[in-house]
Structure 1
């Protein structure tokens, strides 16, 4: 998944403002103690990051 598609999915799921906050501020243990933005900068795949976000926020399977 491209980063732009990932960002769109994040905004669709959480709303634009909350998506930005999650990406910048929420630290995910599944991402090695990184935020979404840090994980992207570190080269982790968007698929891996999306899975971590979905797991942390209990996003239903049909929207993953």
Structure 2
């Protein structure tokens, strides 16, 4: 998954402004105690981060 697709999906689910806030502020144990931004910066694949976000935030199957 390309980062552009990842951020598009984040914006579609959370809204443009809220996606950025969530990615910056929400720490998830499933990401090793990191935020989305931190996980991506540390080399996590966007696809894997998106999978974690979907699981933790109960993103509907049709949006995954």
RMSD: 0.7
Return the alpha-carbon distance in structure 1 between the equivalents of residues 20 and 32 of structure 2.
20
TM-score by length of 2: 0.94
* Structure 1 stretches lacking a partner, 5+ long: none
* Structure 2 stretches lacking a partner, 5+ long: none
TM-score by length of 1: 0.94
Q: List structure 1 runs of 4+ shifted beyond 3 angstroms.
A: none
Partner residue, 1:41? 41
Higher relative contact order (CA 8 A, sep 6+): 2
Number of residues of Structure 1 aligned to a counterpart in Structure 2: 64
